[in-house]
C-alpha cells in the first residue's frame, strides 16, 4: 500500500494470479458470468474448482489380447444402452457446460404419482 492508501501490485501478486488461473481454469469464462449476489454465482465458485473425473471405458484391445472381447460383447450387447455408455467414454467432456448446468440446477424431490 502506498501513502495514499492505494494497493500496489507487488511481484508476488502476478504469481498469485498465475496460481489462481491454474487452480481455476474457468476463471472469467463467458458462460460462467453470474450476478455476484446470486446463489448460482456461489455454487459456480465452488464447482469451477472441483475435479471432474475422467470417464471409465472398456479397452477392447486388451480384451482381445486376453481373448475376452467376445465374451464381454455378449454381455454388453450391440447398440444397447450399456454399449452406448461405454462408447461415450471416448468422447470429449466439456467442463464449461457441465459447471454452468450444475450451477443453475435445483433438484426438488416430489412424491411419485
| Average pLDDT, 10 consecutive residues per value, the chain (113 residues) | 44 46 72 86 82 75 92 91 82 75 79 75
Q: Is residue 27 domain-shared with residue 80, that is, in the same domain?
A: no
Position 65 scores a pLDDT of 94
Q: Is residue 63 domain-shared with residue 51, that is, in the same domain?
A: no
Q: Is residue 47 domain-shared with residue 19, that is, in the same domain?
A: yes
Distance CA 104, CA 42 (A): 11
Contact between residue 33 and residue 49 where contact means Cβ atoms under 8 Å apart: no
Q: Is residue 64 domain-shared with residue 97, that is, in the same domain?
A: no
Distance CA 36, CA 17 (A): 20
Distance CA 30, CA 39 (A): 18
Position 71 scores a pLDDT of 93
Residue 75: how many CA atoms within 13 Å on its side-chain side?
Answer: 6
Residue 17: how many CA atoms within 13 Å on its side-chain side?
Answer: 7
Domain annotation covers residue 15 = yes
Domain annotation covers residue 5 = no
Task: Determine if residue 79 is left, alpha or beta; phi over 0 gives left, psi from -120 to 50 gives alpha, anything else beta.
Answer: left
Position 22 scores a pLDDT of 57
Distance CA 102, CA 31 (A): 12
Q: How many domains does the chain have?
A: 2
Domain residue limits at 76: 56-89
Q: Is residue 98 domain-shared with residue 51, that is, in the same domain?
A: yes
Contact between residue 26 and residue 49 where contact means Cβ atoms under 8 Å apart: no
Domain annotation covers residue 84 = yes
Q: Is residue 51 domain-shared with residue 100, that is, in the same domain?
A: yes
Q: Is residue 40 domain-shared with residue 61, that is, in the same domain?
A: no
**DSSP state for residue 25 in the 8-state scheme:** T
Domain annotation covers residue 3 = no
Amino acid at each position: 500500500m502506498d501513502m495514499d492508501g492505494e494497493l500496489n501490485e507487488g511481484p508476488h501478486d502476478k504469481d498469485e494470479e498465475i496460481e489462481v488461473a491454474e487452480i481455476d481454469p474457468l476463471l472469467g469464462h463467458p458462460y460462467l458470468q453470474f450476478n455476484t449476489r446470486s446463489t448460482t454465482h456461489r455454487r459456480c465458485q465452488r464447482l469451477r474448482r472441483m475435479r471432474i473425473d475422467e470417464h471409465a471405458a472398456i479397452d477392447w484391445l486388451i480384451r482381445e489380447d486376453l481373448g475376452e472381447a467376445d465374451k464381454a460383447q455378449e454381455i454388453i450387447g450391440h447398440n444397447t444402452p450399456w454399449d452406448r455408455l461405454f462408447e461415450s467414454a471416448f468422447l470429449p467432456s466439456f467442463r464449461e457446460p457441465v459447471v454452468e448446468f450444475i450451477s443453475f440446477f435445483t433438484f426438488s424431490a416430489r412424491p411419485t404419482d
